[in-house]
Amino acid sequence: MDKKLSFEILLLRCVGCLFVVMVHALIFTGRIHEQNALLSGTRLIFNVGTPVFIFITEFLIAKNYKGSLPTHFISKRIKYLIPPYIVMAIIGSIYKVHESNEPFTTQNILTAAFRNIFMADYNGYFILIIIQFILIHYLFHNKLKKWPAKVVLPVSFAINFAYLAFFNFVPPFGFGSDSIAEYIWYYTSWLPFIGWAFYFALGYYCGKHYDRFIEVLNRNKRIVLVLPFITVIPVLALKFFDLSPVSSSKGIGYLLFAPSIIFLIFYLSNQIKKVPDFVVSISDHSFGIYLTHSVFMRVFVILYLPFSVNVSQFITLPLIYVTCLSVAWVATKYINKVPFGKFIVGPVRNNLKAVKSEKTIQSAYVAERQI
């Protein structure tokens, strides 16, 4: 089994993390200032972050475990996913109560914590999606090796598209009240694995046939470079022509746009000479940054609001982005120095030292501890 990871994943994981943070920076900037088409349109582009992480998860499993799976395949991953998910869900329940203007009673906090944990009602929802795909890969590992890509990819795309299209275009119905219907509609659209099935399938076959995948990208340079500019059109059109109310990564347009961004990053990573230490460090701390940054953004908004009256959104956006990204990085780094820190904000990978010893991107491979 090959447990080596190319720099392409370091770059992809970094970009995915930075995109997710930017999405929330745009959301909170819109709360501080008046929401407008520029903020909304920019957010639509950066929404690809979560699909990127789904792709990475399965890509790594398929690439590293082409033979049989190890005995502790599931437990090794779950033990680093569930504890941070629960801890951050409890922390998130506090700001959920605050944002809903409810009193800080034990009942309200427990209710919010219950929703966060069991309905994934906060930005840690991606962990439950990843866990579903880990279990699916474990159950179907031997069958996946036999199923051809030319069948699985189009079928998974069609199923994923139909599932999301239903929730994108059909209004909530059939429940006791509109609020309950909207709540169920919203979470059913993305929490089940079927809403992300195509990214899983794509990650599997790209990881399994890694060398061929890179060869195809290099052979189709022009298509790879142009594709993101083409596939972003339906993403923007669906929103700005009011064809779909969905403005998140659960929109059907991302089934084409997200893969085009993934392909572009893989291609570009094969063309550059070196990967900056900054990129590797963000990649190493990405799990913790993903989980904690929105908490710090909420604190930032509270502290920043009194000074924001005469400040442009073009100052607020980079300020909240850089500040909260940096604080999340520092928090992840130093909380992990505590013996149980990895179970609070997730583990930090240790790729930076190995990367520094390599000279070129083509020859560099680093040990990967966790997915």
Asked if the structure places residue 37 within a domain, the reply is no
For position 356, what pLDDT does the model report?
66
pLDDT in tens, 21-30: 999 999 999 9
For position 55, what pLDDT does the model report?
96
Question: Which residue intervals of the chain are DSSP H helices?
Answer: 7-32, 37-46, 49-64, 73-99, 106-118, 125-144, 149-169, 178-188, 197-208, 210-219, 221-240, 254-269, 277-284, 286-304, 313-335, 342-345, 352-356
Domain that holds residue 121: 74-144
Written as six digits, the tokens of 368 are 């990967």
Asked if the structure places residue 107 within a domain, the reply is yes
- Contacts (Cβ under 8 Å, ≥6 apart) of 104: 94, 97, 98
Q: Confidence class of residue 357 from pLDDT cuts 50, 70 and 90?
A: low
Asked if the structure places residue 22 within a domain, the reply is no
Give the whole-angstrom CA distance, residue 13 versus residue 201.
18
For position 2, what pLDDT does the model report?
38
Do the beta carbons of residue 229 and residue 162 sit within 8 Å? no
Distances (CA, A) of 38 to 26, 253, 322: 10, 19, 19
pLDDT in tens, 269-279: 888 877 888 99
Asked if the structure places residue 140 within a domain, the reply is yes
Sequence letter at residue 2: D
CA-based max dimension of the chain: 62
Give the whole-angstrom CA distance, residue 289 versus residue 283.
9
Asked if the structure places residue 79 within a domain, the reply is yes
pLDDT in tens, 253-306: 999 999 999 999 999 988 887 788 899 999 999 999 999 999 999 999 999 999
Asked if the structure places residue 255 within a domain, the reply is no
Mean pLDDT of the region 343-365: 70
Q: How many domains does the chain have?
A: 1
Give the whole-angstrom CA distance, residue 236 versus residue 41.
7
| Residue (of 215, 159, 259, 205) closest to 58 by Cα position | 205
Written in H, E and C, the secondary structure of 112-163 is HHHHHHHCCCCCCHHHHHHHHHHHHHHHHHHHHCCCCHHHHHHHHHHHHHHH
Asked if the structure places residue 84 within a domain, the reply is yes
Asked if the structure places residue 214 within a domain, the reply is no
Most confidently modeled range among 68-82, 84-98, 275-289, 322-336: 322-336
Angular region, 36: left φ>0, alpha ψ -120 to 50, beta rest? beta
For position 4, what pLDDT does the model report?
43
Mean pLDDT of the region 120-129: 90
